[in-house]
């Protein structure tokens, strides 16, 4: 994740003293913002995910977190993608925080992008938005 995106989760976990549940909320917040093509730092919206990624890289927003109050909310306990393997890889193990004990062979589980349209159709976020729209119309 660090090589591909410049996002070092272990460093962020250590610097911000994140417990397991805060890591889950942070990852779900970032995933939701990415799903909505919105920068998680400055909240600028984009039409295409490619534009968002260029913005994150060009403005160095990828390694900068917004205020904790933005993402440390109960709504982010719920994943954007069902069966998100990244969330399964999170740990509350303190040994991971020490660089001496860490190896560079840590597996990184990316989101399954083999069929992104199917993911968008079955995402929890879409279901919640659909329910909310139905409640508003009723």
Q: Confirm whether 95 is domain-assigned.
A: no
Percent with pLDDT over 90 in the chain: 1
Q: Count structural domains, the chain.
A: 1
Q: Confirm whether 1 is domain-assigned.
A: yes
Q: Confirm whether 56 is domain-assigned.
A: yes
Backbone angles phi, psi at 60, to 5 degrees: 55, 30
Q: Confirm whether 116 is domain-assigned.
A: no
Q: Confirm whether 38 is domain-assigned.
A: yes
- Express each pLDDT in 27-65 by its tens digit: 889 889 988 899 888 889 999 888 988 888 888 887 788
| Residue numbers of the domain that contains 68 | 1-89
C-alpha 54: how far from its chain's center?
17
Q: Confirm whether 135 is domain-assigned.
A: no
For 38, 52, 102, 113, the CA distances from 105, given in Å and listed in that order, are: 31, 29, 9, 23
Q: Confirm whether 70 is domain-assigned.
A: yes
- Express each pLDDT in 117-128 by its tens digit: 666 667 777 788
Q: Confirm whether 94 is domain-assigned.
A: no
Half-sphere exposure at residue 81, Cβ-oriented, CA atoms within 13 angstroms: 23
């Amino acid at each position: 994740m660090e090589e591909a995106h410049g996002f070092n989760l272990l460093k962020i976990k250590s610097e911000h003293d994140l417990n397991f549940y805060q890591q889950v909320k942070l990852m779900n917040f970032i995933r939701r913002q990415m799903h909505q093509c919105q920068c998680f730092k400055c909240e600028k919206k984009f039409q295409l995910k490619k534009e968002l990624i260029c913005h994150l890289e060009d403005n160095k927003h990828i390694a900068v977190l917004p205020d904790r109050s933005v993402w440390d909310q109960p709504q982010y306990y719920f994943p954007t993608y069902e069966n998100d393997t990244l969330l399964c890889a999170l740990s509350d193990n303190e040994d991971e925080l020490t660089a001496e004990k860490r190896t560079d062979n840590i597996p990184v589980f990316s989101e399954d992008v083999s069929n992104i349209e199917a993911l968008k159709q079955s995402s929890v976020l879409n279901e919640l938005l659909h329910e909310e729209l139905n409640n508003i119309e009723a």
